[in-house]
Amino acid sequence: MLRRSVLAGIAASAVSSRAMAQADEWKRVEEAGRKEGKLVIYTASIGSPFLKATCDSFEKKYGITIERFEARASEVRERVRVEQAAGRFLGDIHHNGSTTTWLMQRDGNFQPRGDIPNVKNIVAPHAADDIKIPCEVISYCLMVNRTMVKPADEPKSWKDILDPKWTGKILSDDYRALGGGAVFFVVMQNTFGRDFHEKLAAQKPVFSRDIANSERRVARGEYPLYLPFSLQNLNNLKGLPIKPIVPAEGRPFVRFDLAVLKNAQRPNAARLFMNHYLEPDTQLLYANAGYAPVIGGVVEKTLPEIRELLKTPALGTTLPDKQDEMLALAKEIYK
Amino acid sequence: MTVAVQLPIATPALPRGFWRWGRPLGMTLLVLILGFLSLYPMAMLLYGSLHSTPPGVAGEFNLNGYIGLLTTENARIFLDTIVLSFVKTILAVALAILLAWIVARTDTPGRGVLEVLITLPFFIPPILTATAWAMLGNAQVGTINLAWRWLTGSDGTLVNVYSWWGVVWHMMQYSTPFMFLFIVDAFRAMDPALEESSRMSGASRWQTFWRITFGLMLPVTTSAFILSFIRGIESFESPVFFGTPAGITVITTQIYDSITQRAQPDYQSATALSFAALALMFLLLLAQSRLLGGRSFATVTGKGYSPNVTRLGWMRWVTFGICVLFFLLTVALPVGQLLLSSFFRFFGFYEAEMFTFEHYKSVWENRAFWRAFGNTMLLGVLGATATMTLGGIVAYVTTRTKWRGRRLIDALAWLPWMMPGMVLGIGFLWGFATLPHGIPIYGTLLALLLAYVALGTPVAVRVTSAAYQQIATDIEECSRVHGANWWQTLGRILVALAWPAFAVGWVLIFFGIMRELSASILLYAPGTEVLSVVMLKMWVGGKPEEVSVIGLVMLVLVVMFRWVQLKVIKKRISTL
């Protein structure tokens, strides 16, 4: 009994001293981050008020100023590649879709992130590795014009959009190009197979790449149905006669990741920012905006109308190494 | 009928020391500047088209990019692009000539105001007019179609902007005022005695217009035509906005696909496709050179003239109606839609409870907007001034001298115009980033300034070349005979006479800088954001109403600039 107690005591003190060591280590990261004083983020999240709010709260908490370079995913990637090839290491942290992040990780554009306390809170199906951490998840669903589509006619399943009553009435992001359209294509292909797409192609969906305008076109009554609708865009459309619908099978999704850029000048501030992004408050901010959180215990605290949508199952996402193959298949089916 | 007297292009008299050292030094400097601004980024792109990977990544040299172009699909895309651009340019040039003639050469009422109003569409960001036209002209619930159905009781569709003609129409709204700006001052500067002689010799009004007026305008018209045709080939917003939903693919949307819409950006294909387009445009320039070669178009000579106008009688109300109709269709309708929308929470939802000043307040309180506004104004003023200075010098050397190397600098100045903006932006990024770190360009406002100067120089050269070509060399000779030195002659004769063209070029470039996005998005750094980048962020962030507020602010600026410019031009012309 005594032996057990002694062993338990030793184990507890070992755990406790390890935790203390980690806490000390993190304090050192905090101090070093504050000394660095600044953080440069390269992000593909253009004009996001939630990223801005996250940056503002980080600046307030740590006194570290943030500069953001915002551009489209491929532009951010090319900028990082060119700068690193030229020996210019201007950015500290990279925020982009998981596909682009995966490709950049393969190309060696990042450095190991080091320990980050909040990583332990990440829940499946999301996971961090030595380089990157997941940070927010964009969910895709359907959007209907409430004045044009009666509740009884609303699609309940993804397969319902194959009903002939929707022929010529679907406005859609382009499946043949990177973005939400391509994510939708891949997930439907993996879930229902090619037959689904051939039938959907027969519905003659109209493609447009200007997502913000497409959503408003549906709201104005040009088309009754839009897909895939990014759930977080609901924030920009409050007050319009539209309704997001998550079909029974679930939501296709695409994740955004954070990674420390190679030879970052401010690696400690970057780690602090990663940790800050995984704080429950930050994740709740994103979740209330319609992004699925990557840590546990957040969905339950979200606004009721969002909670219902986020509780639906995650249906699937893209696979970076198969993306070009899928884009080619989309071009073949949707001519 | 001979339209103008053949005038020898004399070698201008310059200070003696200049001939020994100044000229070769000046030419070398020009070649170096233009080489850095245009050849250097283009060389990076050429490397990209011939290498399996972009600069800085291990790969191999091959011709796969060019071989990949040889497909039926690409041939069709090329053909579609050329036809689209050609049709819109023809229509736009005809309309621009008509409008310029009405404003500059007739007694149409309210010409001064009309001149400002006609040019407005050029200065509105295309994404805004596209949004406005999407609301006005969509087949389902577009305002025009709803009005048409209400008026006629039909359930048909009058217009559909999501179509081939929709793309042409949207592109024309930019081309017409652009060419109008190019042409109108040339019309104004023309000696009416030539037209009067034609009329007195028995030619009809139409024959006079075609053989004299249009004939003399050939350099400026063909310059405007080619600039506009090339811009049509490089146009992106109209095809992607109205063409993609209608299944129309053009060269730029194909390049956009290669760069941004694939998991692995295919720079080799994109740059190869751009160089193929460049080769096509180069052929056009050769055609223009052949068309104009060896002919003189001098209309501003030493002989005094009074820039009087043609009296149209009752027809002036018809010409007035044409201008007003153009203004209504291209400005009042879309801008009215934008203005109205800027006071409502959402575009197209005009209910009383949605009325708001929130978008104006939001823009006013947006620090990023003001920072970008400051940067853009600084870059606009510096960039337009530097570009017009460079363009004026290049145009002088190419049109008023026979110096060796003048064709080279002309070609160097043209190059940036012939490369689609989104590709050239990558060339600048590659070029500036790989400069030695001691050269403080990358990541600074200077990088943007240099890119803007490069992008604007072709316009500056064309505008000033066309103006110089209209000024006979005998005026300069006369000045020299009367004792003025070379600098005095340059300043008091050539620059003074070409000044209206300088002013137009400056405004074109200034607002070109305000709208430029392709290079800006790749070259800006935190702290050096410009207006177009902020507008993109707002647009993507789902705030098109705030973007329209900025668009309207830009429009007010344009009206102010144009008003001041026209006042000054008129004052100058009346004192000539």
pLDDT in tens, B229-285: 888 888 888 888 899 888 899 988 888 888 877 777 888 998 998 898 888 888 877
Q: What confidence tens digit (pLDDT) does each residue in B120-179 have?
A: 888 777 877 888 888 888 888 888 888 899 899 888 889 999 999 999 999 999 899 988
Nearest residue, CB atoms, A47 vs list B56, B264, B538? B538
Q: Do B526 and A178 touch (CB under 8 A)?
A: no
Q: How far is CA B524 from the centre of its chain?
A: 22
CB atoms within 10 A of CB B313: 8
Segment A313-327 shows an average pLDDT of 88
User: pTM for this one?
Assistant: 0.81
Task: Check whether B13 has a pLDDT greater than 70.
Answer: no
B261 contacts in chain A (CB < 8 Å): 176-179, 327
Q: Which chain A positions have a beta carbon within 8 Å of B262's beta carbon? A: 178, 323-324, 327
- Do A46 and B261 lie within an 8 Å CB cutoff? no
Q: A83 and B348: CB-CB below 8 Å?
A: no
Cβ A77 vs Cβ B265: under 8 Å = yes
**Candidate from B55, B348, B542 with C-beta closest to A212:** B542
- pLDDT at position B302 is 53
The CA distance from A279 to the nearest CA of chain B, in Å, is 24
Mean pLDDT score, B78-97: 93
pLDDT reported for residue B9: 44
Residue in B with minimal Cα distance to A71: B521
pLDDT number for residue B131? 80
- Give the minimum alpha-carbon distance from B471 to chain A in angstroms, rounded to a whole number: 46
Give the chain A residue whose CA is nearest to the CA of B131.
A213
Confidence of residue B90 (pLDDT cuts 50, 70, 90): very high
C-beta of residue B477 within 8 angstroms of C-beta of residue B10: yes
How close is the nearest chain A Cα to the Cα of B234, in Å? 18
- Place B12 in a pLDDT band, splitting at 50, 70 and 90: low
Closest chain A residue by Cα to residue B534: A47
How would you class A7 by CB atoms within 10 Å of its CB: exposed for 0-12, middle for 13-18, buried for 19 or more? exposed
Q: Is B159 helix (H, G, I), strand (E, B) or coil?
A: coil
Q: Which residue of B has its CA nearest to A106?
A: B264
The whole-angstrom separation of Cα A334 and Cα A165 is 19
CB half-sphere exposure, A123, CA atoms < 13 A: 10
Among A68, A223, A323, the residue with its CB nearest the CB of B263 is A323
Q: Are the C-beta atoms of B126 and B133 separated by less than 8 Å? A: no
| Yes or no, beta carbons of A81 and B525 under 8 Å apart | no
Contacts of A235 in chain B (CB under 8 A): 542
Buried b (16+ CB within 10 A) or exposed e, A316-332: bbbebeebeebbebbee
What percent of chain B stands above pLDDT 90? 26
Specify the higher pLDDT residue, A16 or A176.
Answer: A176
Closest in B347, B426, B521 to A71, CB measured? B521
* pLDDT, chain A, mean: 92
Contacts of B524 in chain A (CB under 8 A): 69
Calculate helix-pair angle for A73-85, B251-260, nearest 10 degrees: 60
Query: Are B525 and A90 in contact (CB < 8 Å)?
Result: yes
**A138: which DSSP letter?**
E
Tell me if A178 and B135 make a contact (CB, 8 A cut-off): no
Nearest to A47 among B265, B426, B537 (CB): B537
Q: Is the peptide bond before B8 cis (omega within 30 degrees of 0)?
A: no
For residue range A192-229, what is the model confidence (pLDDT) as tens digits? Answer: 999 999 999 999 999 988 888 889 889 989 999 999 99
CB of B544 less than 8 A from some CB of A:
yes
Closest Cα of chain B to A30: distance in Å? 24
Q: Once rounded to an integer, what is the mean pLDDT over residues B79-97? A: 93
Residue A93 pLDDT exceeds 50: yes
Q: What is the pLDDT averaged over residues B416-442?
A: 86
**What tokens were used for B212?**
């004299």
Q: How far is CA B512 from CA A46, A80, B362, B380, B515, in A?
A: 23, 28, 25, 8, 5
By the CB < 8 Å criterion, does B402 face chain A?
Answer: no
CB atoms within 10 A of CB B317: 12
Compute how many other C-beta atoms are within 10 angstroms of the C-beta atom of residue B508: 24
- H/E stretch holding B550: helix B544-575
> Amino acid letter at B140?
Q
Chain A residues with CB-CB distance to B244 below 8 A:
174, 207-209
User: What's the gap in Å between the CA of B229 and the closest CA on chain A?
Assistant: 25
The Cβ-side half-sphere exposure at A25, using a 13 Å CA radius, reads 11
- Residue B504 neighbours by CB distance under 10 Å: 25
ipTM for the complex?
0.78
Q: How confident is the model at residue B8 (pLDDT cuts 50, 70, 90)?
A: very low
Q: Which residue has the higher pLDDT, B220 or B48?
A: B48
B28 interfacial to chain A (CB closer than 8 Å): no
